[in-house]
Amino acid sequence: MQVTFVGAAREVTGSCHLLKVGGRTVLLDCGMFQGSRKESAEKNRVLPIQIGEIDAVVLSHAHIDHAGRLPFLIREGYSKQIFATPATRDLCAIMLGDSAHIQEKDTEFLAKRRKEFIEPLYTTRHAVRTIELMVGQPYGTTFDVVPGVRATFIDAGHILGSASVILDCTEDGVTRRLVFSGDIGRRGLAIIRDPQIPTGADIVIMESTYGNRDHESVADARARLAQVVRETAARGGRVLIPAFAVGRTQELIYSLHELHRDGAIPAIPIYVDSPLAIDTTSVFEMHPDTFDQTEDFVRKVAELFQFDLIRYTRSVQDSKELMTMHGPMIIIAASGMVEAGRILHHLAHGASDPRNTILIVGFQAEHTLGRRIVEKRPVIKVFGEEVQLKARVEVINGYSAHADCGELASWLQAVRENSPALGNVYLVHGEPPAQDELTTSLTAKGFSVTSPAPGTTVTI
């Protein structure tokens, strides 16, 4: 039994790991690399293994850095099963289609403006075929992936449909349990249930995105959101929120709805300016069975994502009209790391206005515009043009859907309490400083921890 760490090894994006058991190969995630555009584009076109050698794919959740290269596999000839939860499959149907559309438009733009042709990583046709190959498996149901590998999804508490994957691998009559954490969520997040703890693990592959940082509490994040909205509205400005279309946008809508009902924010319009986020919100509404029924707001409010302040702007014309409007407002738009999407137009229009606030509510990878905003660089580039960054920049980490360093340690400690044979822990999905600090902390607690470099193969 071997595991090869292909992507999200000593970095955050590009999640992809190869599991080899009894002559079969299973791909755990096949995510897109993000960050430096040239480097990412090159890495995204390199397959981790020959297509014919992949026997199945198991997908932890729908975020593009975990699922974004699946249509590329299809383009290269993959035609076998892809296992995911039903909600992940439904989210991928819109997310991968959107990703394909963006790439097709980028190719069209370059051909027209620069007279150069760069083939898209994949097209809409490949995204559609990807969904056709997806097999939905509900939480808690054990299923056969390939001969010798049985899997069970449990709720990771990260986004809708997200899963930690329990893999029971049998070779030469011996069964070992590998747990792939996926992205671990936090206790107390809005809408989503708390993470489940896997039992009986022999080996763990664990994410480490925030391995060197603590988040503020969810309650503090809610209070700070209200404060930012009140202060910006008092200045007559806009709150511009780059947000991931999946998960973060819905959490923000939920929180703003709750704050409005409590009278904690002024009655200013809230615009969700992202067709992808609008479609994603519809998918959330299709899966209320996955919501956390311990939350009062979930139990009491039938329409979590519909209230009198909220406006969903789907068309380009509606989006453009926002630029001409006056008065305080909140605009939530993709992308989460400020690398594409309508948020760029809002920043080009509003980043230089000191009345406005740019509110960052998620992780910003290296080399992204979002990271440069967090660093409060005096000048940022939007659409290749320099823009003075005079708007206030606020960062609220309490809305992160990733466990922080303390929560990661608590999750792993809970796994160990239920797993007397726990051996090696492999850290993935984290930048080196985060992984190194988390390794030191976990080693002091008696865990055997390593952070594999890209391409590292370990024999279990």
Q: What is the tens place of the pLDDT at every residue in 249-260?
A: 999 999 999 999
> Which tops the pLDDT comparison, 445 or 244?
445
Q: Do residues 202 and 174 lie in contact, with contact meaning Cβ atoms separated by under 8 Å? A: no
Angle, helices 432-444/405-417, rounded to nearest 10 degrees: 40
**3-class DSSP state of 282:** helix
Asked if 428 and 406 count as a contact pair (C-beta separation under 8 A), the reply is no
Contacts of 237 (CB under 8 A, 6+ apart): 328, 353, 354, 355, 356, 357, 391
User: How many angstroms separate the CA atoms of 83 and 155, rounded?
Assistant: 15
Per-residue pLDDT tens for 363-389?
Answer: 887 888 999 999 999 999 998 899 999
pLDDT at 334 (0 to 100): 86
Q: Render pLDDT for 304-339 as a digit per residue (tens, 0 to 9).
A: 999 999 999 999 999 999 999 999 999 999 888 888
pLDDT > 80? residue 434: yes
Structural domains in the chain, CATH included, are 2-213+401-459 (3.60.15.10), 218-399 (3.40.50.10890)
End-to-end Cα separation, the chain, in angstroms: 5
pLDDT in tens, 181-200: 999 999 988 899 999 999 99
Question: Tokens at residue 205, please?
Answer: 């592959």
CA distances from 342 to 220, 271, 318, 450 (A): 28, 12, 11, 39
Q: Are 31 and 63 in contact (CB under 8 A)?
A: yes
**pLDDT greater than 80 at residue 390:** yes
In degrees and rounded to multiples of 5, residue 245 shows phi and psi of -65, -30
Closest CA to 400 of 236, 194, 242, 247: 247
DSSP assignment of 29-71: --PPP-SSHHHHHHHHTS-SS-GGG--EEE-----HHHHTTHH
Distance CA 191, CA 301 (A): 12
Residue that the structure tokens 């200045």 belong to: 235
The kind and range of the H/E element at 124 are helix 124-132
CA 246 – CA 358 distance, rounded (Å): 19
pLDDT exceeds cutoff 90 at 436: yes
pTM strictly above 0.75: yes
Assign 419 a pLDDT band (cuts: 50, 70, 90): very high
The distance of Cα 285 from the centroid of its chain, to the nearest Å, equals 19
- List 387's β-bridge partners, or say none: 380
In whole angstroms, what is the distance from residue 266 CA to residue 429 CA? 39
Query: With DSSP H G I counted as helix, E B as strand and the rest as coil, what are the percentages for the chain, rounded to 5?
Result: 35, 25, 40
Determine the Cα–Cα distance for residues 122 and 119; give it in Å rounded to an integer: 8
Nearest residue to 407 (alpha-carbon basis) of 198, 187, 251: 187
* 388, containing H or E segment: strand 385-388
Does the N-terminal peptide bond of residue 335 adopt cis geometry, omega within 30 degrees of 0? yes
- Bridge partners (DSSP) listed for residue 153: 165
Angle at 201 between CA 458 and CA 437, to 5 degrees: 65
- Separation between Cα atoms, residue 4 and residue 14, nearest integer Å: 14
**Residue 108: pLDDT band by 50, 70, 90 thresholds?**
confident
**Dist. CA 164–CA 204, nearest whole Å:** 11
pLDDT value of residue 236: 97
* Strand pairing category for 2-7 and 456-459: antiparallel
Q: What is the C-alpha separation between 12 and 432, in angstroms, rounded?
A: 9
